[in-house]
Amino acid sequence: MHALTGTRGTRRAEHWFWVLAAMLAVLMSAWPVHAEEAAGQWGLRLLKTYDLPPEAVARFLQSQEKNTQARPADAQPGEPLAGAQAWQGPDIDLTTVGSPYTLVIKATGVALADGDVATRLQLGWVLDGTLNKVLLPEMARKNTRAGQAVELLGASLPVTLKADRKAAPVIEFNAAPNLRLDSVRVEVWSGMRPSSPIELLMAWVPILLGVAALGFVWWARRI
């Protein structure tokens, strides 16, 4: 009887352990949805917004078409070529108190054919006449349909200043595979964005799983 009771207790403990693990897994799987909903919150304050003028977007498109026609036979699809077009915004007064600063890009366009679309842009800040580039991951959308309207969103790594100074945001256009670019918006965010409740919970996931595992071991040894 004792062995039977112990077996049932162990199974009950395993049941609740896996229930907790499943609940945490559900929360983790829901994280990308919450991240997408909060995609605009890249800092404490939206400092500046720039909509690139139509002529700048037209230069990007002309550069894309020219590069496509002049692409060497051994070049990889979507590979950036030399002679990238750039847009530079006006100077902004940046302070150490407002650091870090994050550049956010919102590009809209239309898919030219069925398949993946992407934009390959290089971001940076002009400080004292020198371009300082910052990392921007490739912005892409998979499995689009020909003629489908697409919005791509990306954010640079935050930049922290050691002294107050003027700086100008810069976008360098390299390529836009399978995308007819219609508009580009640049946002300058100031400060470190606050963590969402889901992010705070995700930081506790390893601890919660560890506590659950210890609880299971303690329960199993008591039976």
Per-residue confidence in pLDDT tens, the chain, 223 aa: 545 455 555 565 565 555 555 555 555 444 443 334 444 578 989 999 999 999 999 998 887 777 655 444 443 333 333 456 899 999 999 999 999 999 999 999 999 999 999 999 999 999 988 999 998 888 999 999 999 999 999 999 999 999 999 999 999 998 899 999 999 999 999 998 655 444 444 445 566 566 666 666 665 666 6
Say which CATH architecture domain 43-71+81-193 belongs to: Sandwich (2.60)
What single-letter DSSP state applies at residue 7? H
Instruction: Return the number of other C-beta atoms located less than 10 Å from residue 96's C-beta.
Output: 12
Query: So what's the pLDDT on residue 33?
Result: 37
Please list, in sequence order, all residues whose beta carbon lies within 8 angstroms of the beta carbon of residue 205, skipping any fewer than 6 positions away. 24, 27, 28
Query: So what's the pLDDT on residue 28?
Result: 47
Q: What distances in angstroms separate CA 83 from CA 62, 110, 175, 215, one per listed residue?
A: 12, 24, 11, 62
pTM of this structure = 0.65
Query: So what's the pLDDT on residue 72?
Result: 43
Find tokens 């049941």 and name the residue.
15
Query: So what's the pLDDT on residue 39?
Result: 45
Q: What per-residue string of b and e applies to 67-76 under the rule 16 or more CB within 10 Å gives b?
A: beeeeeeeee
Domain boundaries, the chain: 2-35+198-222, 43-71+81-193
Query: So what's the pLDDT on residue 197?
Result: 45
